[in-house]
């Protein structure tokens, strides 16, 4: 009995340790309930609404999602390993999962994935999954820059998800493109900033000030000063809620 109690205690402590490593979730009131925003790491996050779970660019293996329900939907933005990790996709429970991906990702998905569960979206195309509308939007590096060939236009997708009457923008890997600056009615935005692959904090802040989301999360920001990003955004518009979360807990 003592051995069983000790094992139970150790298991609980282990689960608490895993939970402690996961950044705290945010909760937004939307029509029909609540949207839960769970950062995982770097470009990976989970959105939950009405019992449905959306994994965005899942990486980190199954352990990264311990304590979270299996995905009903997976969104993948691009072919690079920090967004598209076949080992993680194979490790998590995808028995009831729909995958929303650009064509370049679809071509690289493991053969074990049921093809009937894959929906390919090109830029500006839409898919409706239950009460959630997903719109693929351009994400790319600007022509003429040193990073132009890292993310070519049309290969990958950013996404706008309309959930409970709110629009959630996920930038993926992109520069401050004209398409981003022209966005309208974005309630929540996840904005990358990670040189030399995407933008610096100055370009990211200027893009945010152009389309003015109500809430913005800097993510995919390894090596960048997100406090400077927050200061730049709020100097230009104090009404934008810049939320700084710990996307790199292992770095502590």
Q: What is the DSSP string of 223-239?
A: TS-HHHHHHHHHHH-TT
Give me the pLDDT at residue 151, please.
Answer: 93
Give me the pLDDT at residue 13, please.
Answer: 38
Domains detected in the chain? 24-247 (3.60.15.10)
Beta carbons within 10 angstroms of residue 72's beta carbon: 19
Give me the pLDDT at residue 1, please.
Answer: 43
Beta carbons within 10 angstroms of residue 226's beta carbon: 19
Give me the pLDDT at residue 250, please.
Answer: 62
- pTM, rounded to two decimals: 0.90
| CA 156, chain centre distance (Å) | 14
Residue 246 Cα distances to 71, 203, 215, angstroms:
22, 21, 16
Would you give per-residue pLDDT tens digits along the chain (252 residues)? 443 333 333 333 333 334 447 889 999 999 999 999 999 999 999 999 999 999 999 999 999 999 999 999 999 999 999 999 999 999 999 999 999 999 999 999 988 899 999 999 999 999 999 999 999 999 999 877 878 788 999 999 999 999 999 999 999 999 999 999 999 999 999 999 998 899 999 999 999 999 999 999 999 999 999 999 999 999 999 999 999 999 997 644
Identify the burial level of 184 via C-beta atoms within 10 angstroms of its C-beta, where 0-12 means exposed, 13-18 middle and 19 or more buried.
exposed
Give me the pLDDT at residue 149, please.
Answer: 84
- The C-alpha torsion from 53 through 57 and 60 to 63, rounded to 10°, is 10
Phi/psi for 108 (5° steps) reads: -110, 0
CA distance 252 to 16: 17
Give me the pLDDT at residue 12, please.
Answer: 39
């Amino acid at each position: 009995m003592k051995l069983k109690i000790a094992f139970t205690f150790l298991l609980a402590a282990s689960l608490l340790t895993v939970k402690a490593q996961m950044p705290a979730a945010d909760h937004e009131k939307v029509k029909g309930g609540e949207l839960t925003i769970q950062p995982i790491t770097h470009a990976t996050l989970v959105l939950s609404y009405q019992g449905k779970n959306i994994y965005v660019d899942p990486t980190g293996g199954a352990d990264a999602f311990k304590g979270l329900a299996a995905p009903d939907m997976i969104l993948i933005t691009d072919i690079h390993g920090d967004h598209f990790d076949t080992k993680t996709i194979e490790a998590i429970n995808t028995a009831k999962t729909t995958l929303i991906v650009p064509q370049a990702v679809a071509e690289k998905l493991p053969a074990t994935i049921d093809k009937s569960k894959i929906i390919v979206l090109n830029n500006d195309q839409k898919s409706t999954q239950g009460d959630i509308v997903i719109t693929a939007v351009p994400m790319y590096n600007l022509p003429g820059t040193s990073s132009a060939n890292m993310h070519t236009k049309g290969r990958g997708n950013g996404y706008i998800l309309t959930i409970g009457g709110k629009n959630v923008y996920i930038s993926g890997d992109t520069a401050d493109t004209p398409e981003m600056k022209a966005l309208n009615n974005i309630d929540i935005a996840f904005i990358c900033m990670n040189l030399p692959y995407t933008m610096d904090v100055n370009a990211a802040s200027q893009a945010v000030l152009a389309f003015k989301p109500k809430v913005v999360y800097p993510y995919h920001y390894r090596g960048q000063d997100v406090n400077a990003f927050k200061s730049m955004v709020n100097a230009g518009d104090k009404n934008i809620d810049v939320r700084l979360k710990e996307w790199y807990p292992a770095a502590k």
